[in-house]
Chains A and B, each alone.
Chain A
Amino acid sequence: MAHTEIQNILEIRDLKVIYKTDLEVVEAVNGLDLTIGKGKTLGLVGETGAGKTTTALSILKLLPSITGRILQGEIYFDGEDILKKSEHDMQSVRGNRISMVFQDPMTSLNPVLTVGDQIAEAVQLHNPDMSKEQINERVAATLNMVGIMPSRSGDYPHQFSGGMKQRVVIAMALSCEPELLIADEPTTALDVTIQAQVLTMIRELRDRLGTSMLMITHDLGIVAQTCDDVAVMYSGIIIEAGTAEDIFLGDKHHPYTVGLFNSIPNLDIKSDRLNPITGLMPDPTNLPKGCVFAPRCNHQMEICLEARPGVFEEGTHKIRCYLFSEAAGNSKAGVDLNAE
């Protein structure tokens, strides 16, 4: 994976992040590999607690300074290792070249500043030479872009609804036309009807501005509508990755991915109940020695409990499971995971 000709806007290698408190060490990200091609959108899918937001915060180097620590790994953004950058350099990257939209619009805007001021701050930070008029113009244009009347820039966050607030947050994130947009469950906190509107808007703006995007979500529907590539995350590890076709249409899957798909209600097949994955994610303060999914896996083998599985690759499709790796023997490779 040479990054000499830089076709990937983001490349994360073997990232390991922990949260350390007085009482315990939480292993949030455990050797994660991730790649986002220029202009592409990667969907990062997983349950709550899988380490998705931690990954996103690591990219911006915004982990909680007291507890969060990056133990190892590299994060290449446009060919440069972000982890080697100084805090000062990072400040010119954040909000300018990489922006982030957070999950909860209700709390991610400062209640005592007008939304116009908050967008203007982002613009001004990265364009120190701009005059006040130019900044105001940019703020108005950005608000227009997300469908908010520029005349409302003097209003405070509490005067907006949840969906409108998220539009403001998105406007703020896009005000400097970043190369990479990280959207962390941007629609989870919104009403279903508003979700669709905001999502459509994000897609349109992404296409118009040519921004690469990391879409973090637990909703496979959003992934299907938005993403070129998909990475499935479990207990801080990518257990399956590939193009959207690989994941949605491919015949080989990690048992966890299969479980994820089975737990979505399917209108085409008549069934009485959903098929949730039984059990819970492993305790992040005490991860199993072997495959992190083994304790919940229907296809568990002895080896699964002993060591972490390697990556099975087939074209663009990668799976971290003994069912497909050399060690498990080829006889297992073709097992029909959907037969349950």
Chain B
Amino acid sequence: MYRYVIKRLLFLIPTILGVTLIIYAVMSITPGDPGRAMLGTSALQADVDAYNAALGYNLPFPIKYFNYVKAMVIDQDFGFSYLTKQPVFDEIWPRFLETLKLAFLGVFIAASVGIPFGIYAAVKQYSLWDTVPSLVAFFMAAFPSFVLGLLFLYFFSLKLNLLPSYGIGSFEHYIMPALAISIPPAAQNMRFTKSSMLEAIRQDYVRTARAKGAAERTVVWKHALRNALLPVVTQIGLSLGVLIAGAVVAEKIFSIPGIGSLIVDRIAYKDEPVIIAGTILISICFTLVMLLVDIIYAFVDPRIRAKYSNTKG
């Protein structure tokens, strides 16, 4: 178990290097350059070249990549924004925290609504507790976050004047964005938990538990649920990816100063340092969550645990 955690932590290194490489490679295909983007179309070519040279933009790709990684690892230096000239880290960190707050609020809502309803729907299959939430979840799974966001904005801010339509600051500001991004994954979690639970309930070992004389409640909570929740844990980790996408949209719609909307905005300026650093930060966070998911998984499932404590693999 211990060894497994270490191993997974070590895998963070190639992951982060891989992520930087992917983003770097993709961005290096882009036509145009920061000098042109910064100085405008009317600037002299010589000025643009000088600007690019000063930024180290014209170095060959492998050297640029190597320099970047070296600075990042040794000096924790993510460079300066092409656009604002501010240190990238100072610029993205507060926005990153803002996005994190939103995304984890979303994960929390999506899990705490989706899982219980999913379990209950499976246990009470074909009753109203199953059909009504399943139907609602079915429709909610067809809504993209930005549509929900816009509809909320229209009804709750514009028509009913109940909630603030943009910005941060108070608890009320987070209600609509958090709901907009968490409802679709909540619906998915509900559907996923339900089918996982139904699958678990019809396993032979559940029948064995019944044949032992266990009450239905024990059968469900002790025998079926633990097995059913294993894949759900993974699903929740993966839903963080969906929520990050949702967060980008919600930040745009509700004018929240998060890192997602920052990256979208800076793409137009080819502000590479910000885009790369932002992407890396989110990816590290995502990787850490997946690591946590795997560890929880191994903790709950003795088969996985055994696999990692008996062999070095």
Enumerate chain A interface residues (CB-CB to B < 8 A).
60, 62, 64, 66, 87, 91-96, 99-100, 102, 104, 107-113, 121-122, 125-126, 156, 158-159, 169, 172-173
Interface string of B184-221 (1 = CB under 8 A from A): 00000000000000000011111111111111100000
Residues in chain A near residue B206, CB distance under 8 A: 110
Residues in chain A near residue B210, CB distance under 8 A: 60, 62, 94
User: Is B255 part of the contact surface with A, judged by Cβ < 8 Å?
Assistant: no
Residues in chain A near residue B126, CB distance under 8 A: 66
Verify B204–A94 contact, CB threshold 8 A.
no
Residues in chain B near residue A121, CB distance under 8 A: 209, 212, 214
Tell me the nearest residue of chain B to A88, going by C-beta: B215
Bound CA–CA A153/B222 (angstroms): 19
User: Is B303 part of the contact surface with A, judged by Cβ < 8 Å?
Assistant: yes
Known contacts A92-B213, A121-B214; is-contact A110 B208 (Cβ 8 Å) = yes
Identify B205's interface contact among A107, A122, A125, CB under 8 A: A107
Query: CB within 8 Å of A: which of B242-279?
Result: none
How close is B124's CB to chain A, nearest CB, in angstroms?
11
Verify A91–B204 contact, CB threshold 8 A.
no
Contact-size category for B:
20 to 34
Tell me the nearest residue of chain B to A114, going by C-beta: B302
Residues in chain B near residue A95, CB distance under 8 A: 211-214
Residues in chain B near residue A122, CB distance under 8 A: 212-213
Interface string of B1-33 (1 = CB under 8 A from A): 000000000000000000000000000000000
Bound CA–CA A239/B223 (angstroms): 39
Give the A-B pair count, Cβ closer than 8 A.
Answer: 78
Verify A100–B205 contact, CB threshold 8 A.
no
Identify B306's interface contact among A62, A66, A125, A158, CB under 8 A: A158
How close is B1's CB to chain A, nearest CB, in angstroms?
14
Tell me the nearest residue of chain B to A57, going by C-beta: B207
User: Is B227 part of the contact surface with A, judged by Cβ < 8 Å?
Assistant: yes
How close is B285's CB to chain A, nearest CB, in angstroms?
29
Known contacts A111-B302, A112-B300, A156-B302; is-contact A91 B205 (Cβ 8 Å) = no
Residues in chain A near residue B227, CB distance under 8 A: 110-112
**B interface: dominant SS:** helix
Known contacts A102-B208, A112-B227, A158-B303; is-contact A107 B214 (Cβ 8 Å) = no
Tell me the nearest residue of chain B to A97, going by C-beta: B213
Identify B207's interface contact among A66, A108, A125, A173, CB under 8 A: A108
Bound CA–CA A66/B202 (angstroms): 11
Tell me the nearest residue of chain A to B216, going by C-beta: A87
Interface string of B97-130 (1 = CB under 8 A from A): 0000000000000000000000000000110000
Residues in chain B near residue A93, CB distance under 8 A: 213
Residues in chain A near residue B64, CB distance under 8 A: none
Known contacts A92-B213, A95-B212, A96-B213; is-contact A111 B205 (Cβ 8 Å) = yes
User: Is B226 part of the contact surface with A, judged by Cβ < 8 Å?
Assistant: yes
Of residues A64, A93, A110, A111, which shows the largest number of chain B Cβ atoms within 10 Å of its Cβ? A110
Known contacts A111-B303, A158-B303, A159-B306; is-contact A62 B212 (Cβ 8 Å) = no
Query: 6 tightest A-B contacts by CB?
Result: A95-B213, A95-B212, A94-B213, A107-B204, A156-B302, A110-B205
Verify A108–B204 contact, CB threshold 8 A.
yes
Known contacts A108-B204, A156-B306, A159-B306; is-contact A60 B211 (Cβ 8 Å) = yes
Bound CA–CA A111/B200 (angstroms): 11
Verify B211–A112 contact, CB threshold 8 A.
no
A selection of 29 A-B contacts at a CB cut-off of 8 Å is: A60-B210, A60-B211, A62-B210, A62-B211, A87-B216, A91-B214, A94-B211, A94-B212, A95-B212, A95-B213, A102-B207, A102-B208, A102-B211, A104-B204, A108-B204, A108-B207, A108-B208, A109-B205, A110-B223, A111-B205, A111-B303, A121-B214, A125-B212, A125-B213, A126-B213, A156-B306, A158-B306, A172-B208, A173-B211
Bound CA–CA A170/B16 (angstroms): 51
Bound CA–CA A94/B306 (angstroms): 33
Tell me the nearest residue of chain A to B224, going by C-beta: A110
Bound CA–CA A93/B301 (angstroms): 31
Residues in chain A near residue B211, CB distance under 8 A: 60, 62, 94-95, 99-100, 102, 173
Verify A112–B125 contact, CB threshold 8 A.
no
Tell me the nearest residue of chain B to A106, going by C-beta: B204
Bound CA–CA A112/B229 (angstroms): 12
Bound CA–CA A228/B300 (angstroms): 46
Bound CA–CA A173/B213 (angstroms): 11
How close is B194's CB to chain A, nearest CB, in angstroms?
15
How close is B90's CB to chain A, nearest CB, in angstroms?
47
Tell me the nearest residue of chain B to A155, going by C-beta: B302
Interface string of B301-313 (1 = CB under 8 A from A): 1110010000000
Residues in chain A near residue B223, CB distance under 8 A: 110, 113
Verify B301–A172 contact, CB threshold 8 A.
no
How close is A243's CB to chain B, nearest CB, in angstroms?
29
Residues in chain B near residue A99, CB distance under 8 A: 211-212
Bound CA–CA A87/B216 (angstroms): 9
Bound CA–CA A48/B300 (angstroms): 37
Known contacts A91-B214, A121-B214, A125-B214; is-contact A110 B302 (Cβ 8 Å) = no
Verify B212–A66 contact, CB threshold 8 A.
no
